Structure 1
Amino acid sequence: MTDRTDARTNRDERFSGHESFVCRYGWLRHESFVCRYGWLRKLFDAISSDPTIFADEESAILTLGIGKNMVRSIRFWGEAFSLMEGTPTQGYHPTAFSRCLLNEHTGLDPYLEDRNSLWLLHWKIATNANLAAWNVALQDIQDHQFTRKRFLELVYLRGRRGNKELAESTIKQHTDIFLHTYASMNHHYDAQMLDEVIGSPLQELGLLKRSVTDVKDDIFIFDIGPKRGLTTKTFLYALLDYWEKCSSSSKTLSLKEIMFGRLGPGAVFKLSEFDVLQYLDIVEDITDGYLQFLDSADVRSLHMRRETDPSSLKIRLGFDETRS
C-alpha cells in the first residue's frame, strides 16, 4: 500500500460519521453562477443588517440588487464558504469564521483584498461544503491533470454512490461551476458562458489551468507546487482545522497524513512534499514552540504540546473564530 493510500485510509476511518460528509447542499443550488467579486461582502453586510433577508425572495432581490437566480446563488455560496448559518425562515447569521474575516472593524480582511484570504475561502469550501465536484477534484483525482470527460464520469460515480440518479445536464453544470470557479478564462468560451463565469475571485489562486484544447477533449492541469499568497499562518490554520476535525485528541500528526490525508492541507492546496516541509520547518518559531516538527529517518511528524489544542493555537495565530 502506498503512503498516499495508507494515509487516506487511516484518515477516512477517523472522519467516518463526521458532519463534513453529510450532504447538506443540493447539486444545483449554485444555479449557473460562480461566486462573483463583491458578492461575499454584500452578503455579509446584508445578513448582518437583516438576518431574515432570504425569507422574502422579492425583498432580497431589491436589497441585494441582483436577479432571482443570483439571490439563490449568493445564498448558496454564503453557506458553502461557511460564512453564514441558519435557515431562510428563522434567519441567517454570520458564522464565527466570517466575523473573524469580514467584520469591518476587527476582521482580518473585510474586503477580501489579500490573496491569502482567498486561500482561506478555498479551504473552507473544499473541507466543509461537501460538494461532489470539489470532493472528486481535490480528493479522488490523483493525477495532476484530467480531462473534462473523466471528471464528468467520476462525479457521476460519486452521485451514484450517494444513491442519486442524476441527469447528464445536472452533472455537467455542477462540474462546469467547479472548473469555472478556478480555471482562467480564454477565447474558447462563447459570450453566454463568459457572462456566467467572469469575476470568480478564486481564479486568482492559479490552482487550475485549462490547457490548449485538443480535438477530442478539454484538459485541466493542477498547479502542484508553491502557492503565491498562501502564507505560513494560513497553512497552519488549515492544518490545525484539519487536526481539530479528524484527530483533536491526538498530539501527533504524521507527514503522510498532512500530505495525503483526505481533506488534508497537502491535497486541498495541491502542495508538493517539499512545499509542505518548507512550512513545517518554521512552525516551531511561529507557534512559540507549541508545535514542533520532527524529521528523522524514523520519525516525520508534527507534535503538539500537551497543554494546548488545535483550537487554542488557531487563536494564537490570530484566527479567533469565537469573537463576536
Structure 2
Amino acid sequence: MRFGGHETFPVRETWLSKGLDLIASDRKAFEDPLVADLLGVGSNMAKSIRHWLRLTGLAEPGDGGGLAPTGLGRLILKRDPAMLRAGTWWALHVNVCSQAEESLAWHWIFSRYSGDQRFDRVQCIDALTRYLTVEGQRMPSARTLGGDVACLLATYARPVPPPQEDPEEAIDSPFRQLGLMVHYRETDTYRIDRGQKSVPAEILCYSMAVTFLEERAAGGWIDIQMREAVARPGGPGRVLALSPDAFAVVLAEAERCLGPDAVRSEMVGGDRTIRLKAAKPLDWLGSHYARVG
C-alpha cells in the first residue's frame, strides 16, 4: 500500500506525453540529473512525472534499469502520441483507480467512499482515515494523507463556476475532462458525479476486462452479473462513477456501437448478465482508436 510519490502535483497537460516520448528514446532518461531541464519542468515536477508514468501503466522498469514504455505506452505512442483523445485518459483513469495497493486514495474515493452528497477536504480526509483504521491498514502521516487527498481532488474536480484564467497559463489536469467530480468554489465543497457521462464503448469493455478477464474468462467470453459490474469495488461501475441507471445507459450504447459479437446483456436465471468478449484491455483500447480514427 503506497501513498504520495506525486510530489503533490496532479498530472498536467503534456506531462505524460513528454515523459513517455523521453523514455521511448532513452530508458535511463530519468536517471539523468538534468532530466527536469529535458522536460522543461522543475525537479520535483520531474519526479512527479516519473511517478505518474508508472501509476497510469504507461511505463515499467526496463531491462538493465531505467523506465521503458509498457504495451499500453507503446500503443499510445503509436495511436495518440499527444494524448489528445478522451479515451486515452479514461483508460489511464481506470488503471489508476482499479488498483488498491499502488494508489489507495484514488481507489478508495471511487470504489469505497459511499458519500454521494457534497463534502469538503477535511471530511474527505476524516473518511479516508476511518477507512484505513477499520481495515487495519498502515496509517501514513497526517501530512502525507492530506497531500494525497489534496492531489486527488485537484486531479479530478472541475471548478464551478470556472475561474477566469489565461488559457496559456492553464495547468488543469486532463483527468478533469472526464466529468467525474465537481468543485463548488463558493462553498469549497466537492461532489462525485455518478450520473450519465460520455464513456466510450470500448472503455467500458476495457474496464470490465481489467476487473474480470483473468478470473473468469471461459470459452472466449466473460460472464458478469450486472449488479456486480455496477457495485464491485475497483469494477467498472465504481471506477467510472456510474450509478446503476447511468451504467445501464452506457452499456446499452456499447451494445449498440460494438454489436453482440463484442458485448451483450441478457436475462439469466432472473439476473441480467453481461457477456463480454474475452479480449485483453489493450485490445479494447486499440479497437477504440481504430473506430474513432
TM beyond 0.5: yes
Q: Matches of 1:236 and 1:224 in 2, distance apart?
A: 18
What one-letter code is carried by the residue in structure 2 that aligns with 1:182?
Answer: Y
After superposition, the Cα gap between the structure-2 partners of 1:162 and 1:266, relative to the gap in structure 1 and judged at 3 Å, is same
Q: Matches of 2:37 and 2:63 in 1, distance apart?
A: 16
After superposition, the Cα gap between the structure-2 partners of 1:211 and 1:297, relative to the gap in structure 1 and judged at 3 Å, is farther
Stretch moving more, 75-84 or 241-250: 241-250
**Which of 6, 11, 15 is the aligned partner of 1:39?**
15
Task: Give TM-score scaled by structure 2 length.
Answer: 0.83
Query: 1:288 offset after TM fit, Å?
Result: 4.8
Task: Give TM-score scaled by structure 1 length.
Answer: 0.76
SS in 2 for 1:85: strand
Q: Give the structure 1 partner of residue 212 of structure 2.
A: 243
What one-letter code is carried by the residue in structure 2 that aligns with 1:243?
Answer: F
Q: Give the structure 1 partner of residue 229 of structure 2.
A: 258
Query: 1:43 offset after TM fit, Å?
Result: 0.6
Q: Give the structure 2 partner of residue 168 of structure 1.
A: 142
Query: 1:266 offset after TM fit, Å?
Result: 0.8
What one-letter code is carried by the residue in structure 2 that aligns with 1:291?
Answer: V
Q: Give the structure 2 partner of residue 91 of structure 1.
A: 66
Aligned 8 A contact 2:207 2:281 in 1? no
Q: Give the structure 2 partner of residue 177 of structure 1.
A: 151
Query: 1:241 offset after TM fit, Å?
Result: 2.2
Q: Give the structure 1 partner of residue 28 of structure 2.
A: 52
The answer to whether the aligner puts 1:272 opposite 2:243 as a matched pair is: yes
What one-letter code is carried by the residue in structure 1 that aligns with 2:142?
Answer: E
Q: Give the structure 2 partner of residue 30 of structure 1.
A: 6
Query: How does 1:1-324 map onto structure 2 within 5 Å?
Result: 23=1, 26-56=2-32, 58-86=33-61, 90-103=65-78, 107=79, 109-128=80-99, 130-145=102-117, 146-160=119-133, 161=135, 163-185=137-159, 198-214=171-187, 218-228=188-198, 230-249=199-218, 251-281=222-252, 282-283=254-255, 286-295=258-267, 298-304=270-276, 309-311=278-280, 314=283, 318=287
Moved over 6 A (4+): 186-189
Query: 1:135 offset after TM fit, Å?
Result: 2.0
What one-letter code is carried by the residue in structure 2 that aligns with 1:175?
Answer: V
SS in 1 for 2:10: coil
Aligned 8 A contact 1:123 1:238 in 2? yes
Aligned 8 A contact 1:85 1:94 in 2? yes
Query: 1:256 offset after TM fit, Å?
Result: 0.8
Q: Matches of 2:97 and 2:65 in 1, distance apart?
A: 27
Q: Work out the percentage of aligned pairs sharing the same amino acid.
A: 24
Query: 1:163 offset after TM fit, Å?
Result: 4.5
**Aligned pairs, how many?**
279
Query: 1:235 offset after TM fit, Å?
Result: 1.4
Query: 1:112 offset after TM fit, Å?
Result: 1.8
Aligned 8 A contact 1:81 1:121 in 2? yes
Aligned 8 A contact 1:284 1:293 in 2? no
Q: Which runs of 5+ in 1 are unaligned?
A: 1-22, 190-194
Q: Matches of 1:119 and 1:134 in 2, distance apart?
A: 14
Q: Matches of 1:290 and 1:117 in 2, distance apart?
A: 20
Query: 1:291 offset after TM fit, Å?
Result: 3.4
Aligned 8 A contact 1:138 1:268 in 2? yes
SS in 2 for 1:82: coil
Query: 1:286 offset after TM fit, Å?
Result: 1.3
Stretch moving more, 171-180 or 125-134: 125-134
* RMSD, matched Cα: 3.1
After superposition, the Cα gap between the structure-2 partners of 1:245 and 1:126, relative to the gap in structure 1 and judged at 3 Å, is farther
Query: 1:148 offset after TM fit, Å?
Result: 2.1
